[in-house]
């Protein structure tokens, strides 16, 4: 089973979700490779508020989730993909300094947005 798709954060997250959902045992090297790949996308261009960015050219306007739902806007797709990447990264449970730093930066960047008062003109969470 190939976990990391170097051309797609979405495909990588889906592969991790599938492996975990169907209880496929991921080796430590697979976990580390996937975690470092995702961590490397944190805060890159296209990331939604400091989360994890899709790869350049990766379609993000019509994202189909692992559960089958389709998200039709860029902001919604980038936000959900960033959150799903964050979730997958946590579930991989890789205790490497660079991976931990990426999760901390993502939480620090997105966390304050969640605490802001709701503002319909800017969107709500």
Question: Residue 32: inside a domain, yes or no?
Answer: no
pLDDT tens sequence for the chain (125 residues): 689 999 999 999 999 999 999 999 999 999 999 999 999 999 999 898 899 999 988 876 667 777 787 877 777 788 889 999 999 999 999 999 999 999 999 989 887 666 666 655 555 54
* Domain membership of residue 82 as a residue range: 9-21+41-114
The pLDDT assigned to 72 comes to 75
Q: Is residue 60 part of a domain?
A: yes
Amino acid 88: pLDDT: 96
Number of domains in the chain: 1
Q: Nearest to residue 54, comparing CAs of 2, 3, 103, 5?
A: 5
Which of 41, 56, 28 lies closest to 86, judged by CA? 41
Asked whether residue 110 is assigned to any structural domain, the reply reads: yes
Q: What is the pLDDT of residue 120?
A: 53
Number of helical H runs and strand E runs in the chain: 4, 2
pLDDT for the residue 69: 79
In a domain, 94, yes or no: yes
pLDDT of 58 reads 82
- Please give the pLDDT value at position 125: 47
């Amino acid at each position: 089973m190939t976990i990391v798709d170097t051309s797609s954060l979405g495909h990588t997250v889906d592969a991790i979700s599938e492996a975990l959902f169907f209880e496929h045992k991921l080796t430590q090297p697979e976990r580390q490779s996937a975690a470092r790949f995702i961590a490397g996308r944190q805060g890159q261009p296209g990331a939604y508020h400091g989360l994890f960015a899709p790869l350049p050219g990766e379609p993000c306007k019509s994202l189909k989730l692992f559960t089958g739902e389709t998200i039709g806007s860029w902001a919604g797709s980038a936000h959900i993909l960033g959150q799903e990447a964050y979730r997958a990264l946590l579930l991989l449970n890789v205790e490497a300094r660079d991976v931990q730093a990426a999760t901390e930066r993502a939480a620090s960047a997105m966390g304050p947005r969640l605490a802001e008062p709701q503002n319909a003109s800017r969107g709500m969470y």
